Chains A and B, each alone.
Chain A
Amino acid sequence: MQGYLTIEQVHMDFDTPKGTFKALDNVTLKIDKGEFVSLIGHSGCGKSTVLNIVAGLLVSTQGSVLLDGKEVNEPGPERAVVFQNHSLLPWLTAYQNVELAVKQVFKNSMSKKEMDEWIKHNLHLVHMDHAMNKRPGEISGGMKQRVGIARALAMKPKVLLMDEPFGALDALTRAHLQDSVMEIQAELNNTVIMITHDVDEAVLLSDRIVMMTNGPAATIGEILEIDLPRPRHRLELADDSKYNHYRAEVLRFLHERHSNPNAA
Chain B
Amino acid sequence: MTARVMNLFESIGFSWLVSIMKLFTLQNPKEQIENLLRTLGVPLFAFAVFLGIWHAGASQIETSLGKVPGPVAVWDQTVGLWEEHKAERLKEAAFYERQEERNAKKLAKNPDAKIKIRDYTGKPTYIDQIFTSLKTVFAGFLLASAIAIPLGIICGLSNTMYTAMNPIIQLFKPVSPLAWLPIVTLVVSALYVSDDPVFAKSFVNSAITVTLCCLWPTLINTIVGVSSLDNDLVNVSKVLRLNWWTKITKIVLPSSVPMIFTGLRLSLGVGWMVLIAAEMLAQNPGLGKFVWDEFQNGSSQSLGRIMVAVLTIGFIGFLLDRLMLSLQKSFSWDKDAIVR
Name A residues whose Cβ lies closer than 8 Å to a Cβ of B. 55-57, 74-77, 79-81, 83, 85, 87, 89-92, 100-101, 104-105, 135, 137, 155
Closest to B253 in A: A91
Residues of B close to A92: CB separation below 8 A: 250
Residues of B close to A77: CB separation below 8 A: 239-241
Q: List 30 A-B contacts (CB under 8 A).
A: A55-B235, A55-B239, A57-B239, A75-B239, A75-B241, A76-B239, A76-B241, A79-B239, A80-B239, A81-B239, A85-B232, A87-B230, A87-B232, A87-B233, A89-B236, A89-B250, A89-B251, A89-B254, A90-B333, A90-B334, A91-B255, A92-B250, A100-B240, A101-B240, A104-B241, A104-B246, A105-B240, A135-B333, A137-B334, A155-B240
Which of A79, A91, A92 has the most chain B CB atoms inside 10 A of its CB? A91
Which of B230, B239, B251, B333 has the most chain A CB atoms inside 10 A of its CB? B239
Residues of A close to B236: CB separation below 8 A: 83, 87, 89
Interface residue total, chain B, C-beta cutoff 8 A = 18
Instruction: Check: B89 CB closer than 8 A to any chain A CB.
Output: no
Q: For the complex, give the distance between the alpha carbons of A108 and B253 in Å.
A: 26
- Contact yes or no, B334 A91, CB < 8 A: yes
Q: For the complex, give the distance between the alpha carbons of A105 and B246 in Å.
A: 13
Q: For the complex, give the distance between the alpha carbons of A87 and B238 in Å.
A: 12
Residues of B close to A90: CB separation below 8 A: 333-334
Q: For the complex, give the distance between the alpha carbons of A85 and B235 in Å.
A: 12
- Contact yes or no, B250 A100, CB < 8 A: yes
- Contact yes or no, B238 A75, CB < 8 A: yes
Closest to A80 in B: B239
- Contact yes or no, B235 A57, CB < 8 A: yes
Q: For the complex, give the distance between the alpha carbons of A183 and B297 in Å.
A: 86
Q: For the complex, give the distance between the alpha carbons of A75 and B233 in Å.
A: 13
Residues of B close to A104: CB separation below 8 A: 240-242, 246
Smallest CB separation, A98 vs chain B (Å): 11
Closest to A101 in B: B240
- Contact yes or no, A89 B233, CB < 8 A: yes
Smallest CB separation, B180 vs chain A (Å): 38
Q: For the complex, give the distance between the alpha carbons of A82 and B180 in Å.
A: 53
Q: For the complex, give the distance between the alpha carbons of A54 and B230 in Å.
A: 21
Q: For the complex, give the distance between the alpha carbons of A135 and B334 in Å.
A: 10
Smallest CB separation, B43 vs chain A (Å): 33
Closest to A52 in B: B235
Smallest CB separation, A70 vs chain B (Å): 15
Q: For the complex, give the distance between the alpha carbons of A81 and B334 in Å.
A: 26
Closest to B240 in A: A104
Smallest CB separation, A139 vs chain B (Å): 15
Residues of A close to B242: CB separation below 8 A: 104
- Contact yes or no, B333 A91, CB < 8 A: yes
Q: For the complex, give the distance between the alpha carbons of A105 and B251 in Å.
A: 17
Smallest CB separation, A238 vs chain B (Å): 35
Interface hits, B234-288 → A, CB 8 Å: 235-236, 238-242, 246, 250-251, 254-255
Q: For the complex, give the distance between the alpha carbons of A137 and B337 in Å.
A: 11
Q: For the complex, give the distance between the alpha carbons of A81 and B250 in Å.
A: 19
Smallest CB separation, B284 vs chain A (Å): 42
Q: For the complex, give the distance between the alpha carbons of A83 and B254 in Å.
A: 20
The 7 A-B residue pairs with the shortest CB-CB distance, nearest first, are: A91-B333, A87-B232, A75-B238, A91-B254, A104-B240, A75-B239, A87-B236
Residues of B close to A91: CB separation below 8 A: 254-255, 333-334
Contact with A along B136-166 (1 / 0, CB 8 A): 0000000000000000000000000000000
Q: For the complex, give the distance between the alpha carbons of A85 and B233 in Å.
A: 10
Smallest CB separation, A89 vs chain B (Å): 6
Residues of B close to A81: CB separation below 8 A: 235, 239
Knowing A89-B254, A90-B334 are in contact, say whether A83-B232 is a contact too (CB < 8 A).
Answer: yes
Closest to B238 in A: A75
Residues of B close to A75: CB separation below 8 A: 235, 238-239, 241
Residues of A close to B241: CB separation below 8 A: 75-77, 104
